[in-house]
Amino acid sequence: MASRSGRVTATDVAREAGVSQTTVSYVLNDAPHQKISESTRRKVLDAVAKLGYQPSAAARALRLGRSELVLMLLPDVPVGDSLATLVELLGDELERHRLSLITRRTQHAPVSSLWRELMPAAVLTSLGVSAEDMAGMRAAGIPVVSVEIDAATHPLGLPIHQTLIGRMQVERLAATGHTRIGYAAPRQPRLRDFLEPRLAGVRAACAELGLEAPAVLDVPLDAAAAAAAADQWHSAVPAVTGVCAYNDETAFALLAGMRRVGLSAPGDLAVIGVDNDKLAPFAVPPLTTIDNNLDILAGRVARLIVGSIADDTVSAAPQSVPVSLVVRESA
Amino acid sequence: MASRSGRVTATDVAREAGVSQTTVSYVLNDAPHQKISESTRRKVLDAVAKLGYQPSAAARALRLGRSELVLMLLPDVPVGDSLATLVELLGDELERHRLSLITRRTQHAPVSSLWRELMPAAVLTSLGVSAEDMAGMRAAGIPVVSVEIDAATHPLGLPIHQTLIGRMQVERLAATGHTRIGYAAPRQPRLRDFLEPRLAGVRAACAELGLEAPAVLDVPLDAAAAAAAADQWHSAVPAVTGVCAYNDETAFALLAGMRRVGLSAPGDLAVIGVDNDKLAPFAVPPLTTIDNNLDILAGRVARLIVGSIADDTVSAAPQSVPVSLVVRESA
DNA sequence: TTGTAAGCGTTATCAC
DNA sequence: GTGATAACGCTTACAA
């Protein structure tokens, strides 16, 4: 029976089981250093089941000084397919550990007020979190895992090798005989932070393979504009014959643009995307792309989080996440 | 200065401002029935700013009996593009009201333990939440907003007119001269609950327009399989000339399948999707589709939630969400 | 107008 | 082995 409010509390369970509330807590938390007799344990568990008791997350958080929430700070970019997928996968993964994922845009509220308020069990950052905030969180004992673009500056984070992605795109194009490479960049300035490392990888790979620097053009998500870019690449001298697209979305736009000016892939212009979008197999022609294996990343990040919550030692070995080439027909 | 833990509490602010902790609370909560002198208010706010005080969500939740979390219960289907978008938009919208959206799969944990544990400010349900859970939540005073498929059974929810979507698809095809309609259904049995009302709408519209019942075929996300379906429709007697796809994804697969067997849209087979996927303009040919205006839905749901948290009167007027036809070239 | 004090439901430190 | 008891940080009658 509930005390006076509608809620069933540990005290109610204690009363029902004929033990003290303390004992209930011991049983439920699997006795840190306590020995609970089997009979008591039974009585308590029975009472719990009978009353349908659920501990209050708020009370627990207040007492422990940290909640079971994982705060994910998102950069202020339009969340694309792949980031959305990562969030979803991560949420599922964390759910298995009784953790709830909360996402917040970095810009909407000062980051510091956010973590102070929520006392999250861990914080996941990607971009745009200030060094002070980082330090503050760490000082407060909150494990911070950063899924960063640039592995070098964040040695404790889990890197997505954006640079590697760019490299792999070029390598594929080079392997299929292309020597003059184009890069289809999205227009939104907001994406700059994501774009740059990928483009850097492309540039580096071109240099290493002895190719000319990539011809970078804006390819907005608009067929007409994409057509202009396609045309420009095609009629350059020497002509660009292979294009790395920032992502699959951009690749789709480019393919549509090419169609408008009578160009086809991979004959006139080979196109390779990034993300392995669900629709990539249905592009015309089916889109060759780089899969960043977000499911694997999600699993690793989740494990890293769970681990750093358990151990205080943030031994977060920054394992790089595999990235794979998916060959279809466009490149 | 923090008491002894690292945290800055309202008591610290009080000390700094030279007032009682109560006064701090009054000032910060904008004085329900209190009159605070301007000078005190200033002192408090200054101290808050100086110390960087942030109230503890846990303590507040414990005291108030409810947190500032909004729990969204998701059906156990692979979260597709459109549901993911809804979640994202909703999260952004709720963030503006200082609410945090938490998503959970209905199946992973018993629903009752979830809400009892989190004491959410509101719960958002879509499918697969039992009547008992509903009743339990309502009894506990938690506003429940259901974004349901079937408006009739959930008069307090906010309906997405899935049925209307199906209707509109057929109407477009009929308007462009098609009399024999096909329906491209996804294979996953998990999607049944979403599929059925749409298909029902298609059936109803066919009947009302005096057309034959739709020829329903499975169109999995596989070009080869989709090709078989396309062929079957095309060679039926009388031939199916217009197909409603379950969603844009299915439509993409179908278009790819058609290409394999030398069929083209809309000439041989007109295709109309649902979702207005970002990539729909880049389909070959550009995909005609139904936009379910999730941004509008998200806004309404958010307002409904915020409203029902404020008022206790769940006057949730179930306003239906507009759905619009986006004409491109495929149908 | 401001302060005192009683909880909200846990966990954890002691006694027994 | 088990049980009082004191926080955790906040809101809100009730006093002053």
State the pLDDT at residue A151.
47
Nucleotides of C under 7 A from a protein CB: 1-5, 7-13
Residue A297 confidence class, pLDDT cut points 50, 70, 90: confident
Determine if strand C comes within 7 Å of the CB of B36. yes
Helix runs in chain B, H state only: 10-17, 21-28, 38-51, 57-64, 81-95, 111-118, 131-139, 162-175, 192-208, 223-234, 248-260, 294-310
Out of A96, A117, A139, name the one closest to residue B56 (CB).
Answer: A117
CA closest to C3 C1', residue:
B20
Does the structure show a pLDDT above 50 at B178?
A: yes
Q: pLDDT band at A166, cuts 50/70/90?
A: very high
User: Contacts of residue A117 in chain B, CB cutoff 8 Å?
Assistant: 54-57
Q: Output the distance from A222 CA to C14 C1' rounded to whole Å.
A: 71
Q: Tell me the C-alpha distance between B236 and B220, whole Å.
A: 20
The per-residue pLDDT for range A180-209, each reduced to its tens digit, is: 999 999 998 888 877 888 999 999 999 999
In this structure, which long-range contacts are made by residues A188-195, counting pairs with CB atoms below 8 Å and at least 24 apart in sequence? A188/A77, A188/A78, A190/A76, A190/A77, A190/A78, A191/A77, A191/A246, A193/A75, A193/A77, A193/A127, A193/A128, A193/A149, A194/A77, A194/A149, A194/A162, A195/A246
Residue nearest to nucleotide D6 (CA to C1'): A63
| Token reading at B164 | 């209307």
Please answer yes or no on whether B62 and A67 come within 8 Å at the CB atom: no
Give how far B209 is from chain A: nearest CA, Å: 33
- Whole-number pLDDT of residue A73: 92
Q: Which residue of A has its CA nearest to B137?
A: A6
B126 compared with B112, residue with greater pLDDT? B112
* pLDDT of amino acid A152: 46
- Quote the minimal CA–CA distance from A152 to chain B in Å: 30
CA of B24 to C1' of D13 (A): 17
Nearest to A119 among B52, B58, B249 (CB): B58
| Interface-testing mutation among B282, B287, B294, B330, with chain A (most A C-beta atoms within 10 A) | B282
Percent of chain B with pLDDT over 90: 64
Minimum mean pLDDT range among B189-198, B245-254, B312-321: B312-321
Q: Residues of A from 63 to 102 whose C-beta is within 7 A of strand C: which are they? A: 63-64
- Nearest chain B CA: its distance from A84 CA (Å): 7
| Nearest nucleotide from residue B37 CA, by C1' atom | C1
**Record: contact B95-A118, CB cut-off 8 A:** no
B195 CA to D7 C1' in angstroms comes to 54
Closest chain A CA to residue B117? A56
In terms of Cβ atoms closer than 10 Å to its own Cβ (0-12, 13-18, 19+), residue A279 is buried
In this complex, the answer to whether residue B20 has its CB under 7 A from any atom of chain C, a nucleic strand, is: yes
The reported pTM is 0.90
Which positions on strand D lie below 7 Å from a protein C-beta? 1-5, 7-13
Average confidence (pLDDT) over B205-218: 97
Average pLDDT over residues A159-178: 89
Which nucleotide does the CA of B35 lie closest to, via C1'? C1
Q: Is the pLDDT of residue B202 over 90?
A: yes
Q: Which residues of B touch A249 (CB under 8 A)?
A: 278-279
Burial of A33 (0-12, 13-18, 19+ CB in 10 A): exposed
Could you tell me the distance in Å between the CA of residue A11 and the C1' of nucleotide C2?
35
What residues in A contact B75, CB-CB < 8 Å?
none
Of A54, A67, A108, the CB nearest to B58: A67
Instruction: Determine, for residues B116 and A5 on separate chains, whether the beta-carbon distance falls below 8 Å.
Output: no
**Res. B159: pLDDT tops 60:** no
Judge whether residue B120 has pLDDT over 70.
yes
Nearest residue of A to residue B62 by CA position?
A58
Closest to B101 (Cα-Cα) out of A212, A108, A159: A108
Of B143, B134, B73, which Cα lies nearest the Cα of B107?
A: B73
Q: Which of A298-307, B159-168, B235-244 has the highest mean pLDDT?
A: B235-244
| B36-56 average pLDDT score | 93
Task: Give the H/E segment covering residue B184.
Answer: strand B181-185
A36 CB inside 7 Å of strand C? no
Taking the CA of residue A26 and the nearest CA in chain B, the distance in Å comes to 18
Of A55, A79, A105, the CB nearest to B95: A105
- The answer to whether the beta carbon of residue B279 comes closer than 7 angstroms to any atom of strand C is no
**Protein CA A106 to sugar C1' D11 (Å):** 30
Task: Mark yes or no for CB contact A256/B101 under 8 Å.
Answer: no
pLDDT over 90 at A77, yes or no? no
**pLDDT at residue B191, as a whole number:** 82
pLDDT at A5 > cutoff 80: no
Question: According to the model, what pLDDT value does residue B153 have?
Answer: 45
Q: How far is A116 from chain B (nearest CA, A)?
A: 6
Q: Distance from residue B121 (CA) to nucleotide C5 (C1'), in Å?
A: 28
CA torsion, ordered A106, A111, A117, A121, to nearest 10 deg:
80
pLDDT of residue B156: 45
- Full set of structural domains in chain A with CATH: 10-55 (1.10.260.40), 66-161+295-322 (3.40.50.2300), 162-291 (3.40.50.2300)
Nearest nucleic acid nucleotide to A3, CA to C1' distance: C9
**Does strand C come within 7 Å of the CB of B39?**
yes
The pLDDT-based confidence of B6 (bands split at 50, 70, 90) is confident
Summarize pLDDT for A37-76 with one digit per residue, the tens. 888 999 999 999 999 999 999 999 999 999 999 999 988 7
For residue B97, pLDDT beyond 50: yes
